[in-house]
Amino acid sequence: ETFTIRTEDGHIQCIQGPAHVPMVSPNGSVPPIFVPPGYVSQMVEENGVRKVMVLPHSSEFHPSMHPPPPHVPHYMHPHPALLPHPPHPVYSPVPGTGEIPPQFIHQPPPPTHVYQEQGKTSTSSSIKESVSELVSFTTESCEPDPPAAPKLINRTKNSLSLQWKSSNDNGSKITNFLLEWDEGKSGAFIECYYGNLKQYKLTKLSPATKYLLRLAAKNDIGMSGFSDTVAYYTAGIVPSPPLPPQFIEAGVTWLSLKWSPPNGMSSDDSLTYTLDMEEEDSGYGFQPKYNGEELSCTLKNLRRNTSYKFRLSACNNEGKSIPSEVVEYSTIPDKPGPPSKPSVKGKIHSHTVKVTWDPPKNNGGSDISKYFLEISETLIGSNWVVVYSGCMREHVCDHLKPGTSYRLRVSCVSKGGESPASDVLTVQTSAVPPGPCHAPCLVSKAKPREITLQWDGGSEVTEYFGPLSEKAEISTAAGPPDQCSTPLLTCKAATCVVVTWESPVCNGAEICEYRLDWGQMEGSMRIIYTGPCLSYEVKGLTPATTYYCRVQAVNIAGVGLFGDIGVVTTPASVPAAVSVLHLLEEDQMGIPCYLSACLAIQWEEPCCHGSDVIGYNIEYGEKQLVTVGRVTSHILENLHADTLYRIRIQAINNFGVGPFSHSIKAKTKPLPPDPPHLECVVFSYQSLKLKWGEGPSRALITNPTQFNLQMEDKFGRFVTVYSGPCHTYKVQRLNESTTYYFKIQAYIDAGEGEFSEVYAFTTIRSPPVSLKAPKVNQVGENICEITWEPLQSMKIDSIVYILQLASGREVDQVYKGSETSFHFTNFQTNCEYRFRVCAGRQYHDSTGLQELYGPYSPSTVFSSQKQELVPQCTHSTAKFAKIKKMLNDERFAAFLLLVGFAVVAILFAFVIQYFVIK
């Protein structure tokens, strides 16, 4: 609104609101304020500074006004001398009683109130008023109201800085404040500060500790009650840098690392760890690869034979520690692939052949350090002999036998291990003619059932038979044991089998050991036992599985043949442990679930061990157990919000329950928030500004709580008008004096909260528009007529007008009514008058007739003169008088000042042109 203030020098200053205007008076009094119709002045004292607030007094505004804040001691109606002089009361009396309406009587104690009764009389040409004498009264003082709880303005690890405001002093100035605390021990309250300051700093506190505080105020009457108790926490300590992660084991594509908590902290402290990794020559720097509570992790999908740098940071509620020192670990190389099939280079000779080969296509991530060339004399044998090892990729094989077939293959080795053998190359050396034979002789020792004789052909072969030689006696040597019999297999348990066998014929040499060959397939058995016993207990078997075994005997003469194969099937048993268990994300669940109270898990069915799985036991929380059927996923419901759970699972079949799986950690999301309290902070005739909760009007943090504000439409449906993180919203394009209904809900990632109750807010009536300046015509010697344009009625409300007259420093209301003209009489001659008019709408509410006024129009100046007092003047003098008549005092002064500046500027220009330039 536009209102006026009379300054110390008597000038009238017009100010367009809203505005904060500093007013200083030498004698400490409040300057007179001329408030617009429908408004009153309100005196406020805050921190020793007196303020005057101009507020509407119409009951139309009362629903939107908050009760006076604690620091505002009272409301005081302005003295009538500070208001314009209307022909009617500032507040309308209750009809028939003349009493002040209840909405203008304020109950807070104890300052002095001054009331003035006014009556009114109306005539056709002037307005008279009757005012009673002033009566003053003062209520008694009492102790202050309980102050608001102290606010936390800063905190450190060892201190809390608090600040508070004064409460209503109830007529006696507050002299001291009493602040009490519980010393962080949750015990009795003791005094920590007593004085007149409004802030205090608690020091020498413990980090990350809760402290309870309360505040009371004291004046000369007594001590107030205590404020609400508030709890504040000191800041915690950021963890110290942990030791760098330690190496556990490395693979071709993975690395296992472990670490320990920082010094001064145990594994029970609520810590999370961030493991950063930098790949060699990647150019991306350190990237986070793990973030969690565990003290170890395995990094997968790495490159083989590659060096990686690592550093570790620890985090708690107060922040993140400095990273540890950087350590470097490497994955191991993979074993290389087989080299190419060897090929013959040059001609094949009777005793030599030259072969060559290419390196493997896949070296496993490291260079080949050596090649191995193997040769075998027989086409079907398995006795391979290494004839070359080195880094060359060709070799000459010598000392071969003429006319003999040989097989050749190549393998290689690197840091990753030994490669498989290449494909086999078969070559045959060239044949040569035989030489002369020598006499036969015994070759090596005699065998158990045969002897070997050798001879060479002579230079000439003839048939010649002589007498028989003397009888010679030759003994056969000891031989390997005979073939063992089929072993006997007995199932001792579902995972244990006892194998027994009999001793075969030893063939002249005592059996020193037996070899037990075992496997799940006949062609892929391996030796699992070597020793002198005739039985062996095989453990760690899989239930409901078929196994094959055979036995061979060994003595000093050699190894006997394997016996026939024995077959056994282990009995069925409880299921194996579940190996794959993980948490389902929200978008993978496929069914609605309130995330604050449930967790969805999924697993893979384990080996049934011969009996189908019929269900599962799921253990979570404090060993709570739930049993489900033969499914591979389940939703744990009725959980606590924002809580960490450890979950594991075991399978069930007809034989019982299997072992538990590994544990996984999962945390439920927090509960959706309750709906905030909704209030209207600014009422207008075409908009409502709503506010809810505690927070900024614009979101300043990431992932804040979101709000959904709905308004009822003309069909009775609630539709969303705002959805977002802000705490205020202005609903516009509304109708005046209309009630609108709203409700609000809050929602976060965990889900949507409940809607609030329905709130009703009503727009105010719109004030009339500003009128044009009134027209003034002198219709007689001492009579002038003031007219103004009429204003259309607003809905069913009637329109009234107020006409003001300003003469010098005096401003009076000369007319109020529904007419659009007024005859002003008895004015003085040779005086200047200013007229302005405003329109108001009259309406009825529960308290009676109310009026709402719009802004005043511009002023129209009227000068009263008598013809005989006007002297004869020249043409220029008459023109100057005409200009002066058109302007008021302020405009005329501004005009003279402008003329003076123009004359001075012309003189300066002439002086500069004549004396300086020339």
Q: What is the pLDDT of residues 629-652, one digit of tens each?
A: 999 999 998 888 889 999 999 999
Tokens linked to 21: 């205007």
Residue type, 609: H
Contact 273, 312 (CB under 8 A): yes
Whole-angstrom distance, CA of residue 33 vs CA of residue 24: 13
Please enumerate, as own/partner, the contacts of 786-790 that have beta carbons within 8 Å and a separation of 24 or more: 786/821, 786/822, 786/823, 786/824, 786/835, 786/837, 786/860, 787/820, 787/821, 788/820, 788/821, 788/837, 788/857, 789/820, 790/820
The whole-angstrom distance between residue 907's C-alpha and the CA centroid of its chain comes to: 72
**DSSP collapsed to 3 states, 43-75:** EEEECCEEEEEEEECCHHHHHHCCCCCCCCCCC
Give the pLDDT band of residue 721 (cuts 50, 70, 90): very high
- Respond yes or no on whether the N-terminal peptide bond of residue 110 is cis (omega within 30° of 0): yes
Contacts of 823 by beta carbon, 8 Å cutoff, 6+ apart: 125, 779, 783, 784, 785, 786
Q: Which residues pair with 689 in a beta bridge?
A: 682, 730
The whole-angstrom distance between residue 677's C-alpha and the CA centroid of its chain comes to: 24
Whole-angstrom distance, CA of residue 545 vs CA of residue 849: 99
Dihedral angle of Cα 144, 149, 153, 159, to the nearest 10 degrees? 100
Between the alpha carbon of residue 569 and those of residues 235, 516, 837, the distances in Å are: 66, 17, 112
Burial class of 769 by CB neighbour count within 10 A (0 to 12, 13 to 18, 19+): exposed
Whole-angstrom distance, CA of residue 895 vs CA of residue 884: 10
Per mean pLDDT, which range of 10-19, 393-402, 451-460 is the poorest?
Answer: 451-460
Whole-angstrom distance, CA of residue 594 vs CA of residue 671: 9
**Residue 782: closest CA among 824, 814, 811:** 824
Burial 344-374 (b: 16+ CB within 10 A, else e): eeeeeeeeebbbebebbeebbbbebeebbbb
Q: Is residue 368 classed as helix, strand or coil in its secondary structure? A: coil
Mean pLDDT rounded to a whole number for the chain: 81
* pLDDT of res. 78: 42
Residue type, 449: R
Whole-angstrom distance, CA of residue 849 vs CA of residue 842: 7
Average pLDDT of the residues in 768-797: 87
Contacts of 193 by beta carbon, 8 Å cutoff, 6+ apart: 177, 178, 179, 200
* pLDDT of res. 324: 93
* pLDDT of res. 867: 41
Whole-angstrom distance, CA of residue 81 vs CA of residue 442: 152
Residue type, 450: E
DSSP 186: T
- Flag whether pLDDT at 480 surpasses 50: yes
Contact 661, 650 (CB under 8 A): yes
Whole-angstrom distance, CA of residue 115 vs CA of residue 476: 146
Q: Which residues pair with 798 in a beta bridge?
A: 842
* pLDDT of res. 100: 37
In the block, residue with structure tokens 């669940």: 589
Contact 684, 763 (CB under 8 A): yes
Per mean pLDDT, which range of 12-16, 385-389, 417-421 is the poorest?
Answer: 12-16
Whole-angstrom distance, CA of residue 513 vs CA of residue 208: 71
- Respond yes or no on whether the N-terminal peptide bond of residue 672 is cis (omega within 30° of 0): no
Whole-angstrom distance, CA of residue 414 vs CA of residue 391: 11
Residue type, 766: S
Contacts of 459 by beta carbon, 8 Å cutoff, 6+ apart: 436
Give the pLDDT band of residue 876 (cuts 50, 70, 90): very low
SS3 content of the chain, % helix, strand, coil (to 5): 5, 40, 55
Whole-angstrom distance, CA of residue 67 vs CA of residue 655: 75
Per mean pLDDT, which range of 34-38, 310-314, 627-631 is the poorest?
Answer: 34-38
In the block, residue with structure tokens 């209301």: 813
Model pLDDT for residues 533-549, shown as the tens digit of each residue = 999 999 999 999 999 99
- Flag whether pLDDT at 259 surpasses 80: yes
Whole-angstrom distance, CA of residue 244 vs CA of residue 414: 31
More confident residue, 282 or 225: 225
* pLDDT of res. 90: 36
**DSSP collapsed to 3 states, 302-338:** CCCCCEEEEEEEEEECCEECCCCCCEEEECCCCCCCC
Give the pLDDT band of residue 611 (cuts 50, 70, 90): very high
Please enumerate, as own/partner, the contacts of 87-95 that have beta carbons within 8 Å and a separation of 24 or more: 87/120, 87/122, 87/127, 87/128, 87/129, 87/813, 87/816, 88/118, 88/120, 88/816, 89/117, 89/118, 89/120, 90/40, 90/57, 90/118, 91/57, 92/848, 92/849, 92/850, 94/848, 95/848
Whole-angstrom distance, CA of residue 737 vs CA of residue 674: 31
More confident residue, 865 or 882: 865
Note the pTM of the prediction, 2 decimals: 0.37
Q: What one-character-per-residue DSSP string does 102-114 give?
A: GGG------S-EE
Average pLDDT of the residues in 226-240: 88
| CA angle in degrees (0–180, nearest 5) for 459-461-466 | 125
Average pLDDT of the residues in 201-215: 90
Whole-angstrom distance, CA of residue 610 vs CA of residue 605: 14
- Flag whether pLDDT at 879 surpasses 90: no
Q: Is residue 524 classed as helix, strand or coil in its secondary structure? A: helix
Residue type, 719: V
Contact 455, 439 (CB under 8 A): yes
Contacts of 417 by beta carbon, 8 Å cutoff, 6+ apart: 334, 335, 336, 364
Q: Please give the backbone phi and psi of residue 880, each rounded to the nearest 5 degrees, phi first.
A: -65, -40
* pLDDT of res. 778: 84
Contact 224, 217 (CB under 8 A): yes
How many residues make up the chain in this entry? 918
- Flag whether pLDDT at 881 surpasses 90: no
Average pLDDT of the residues in 216-237: 91
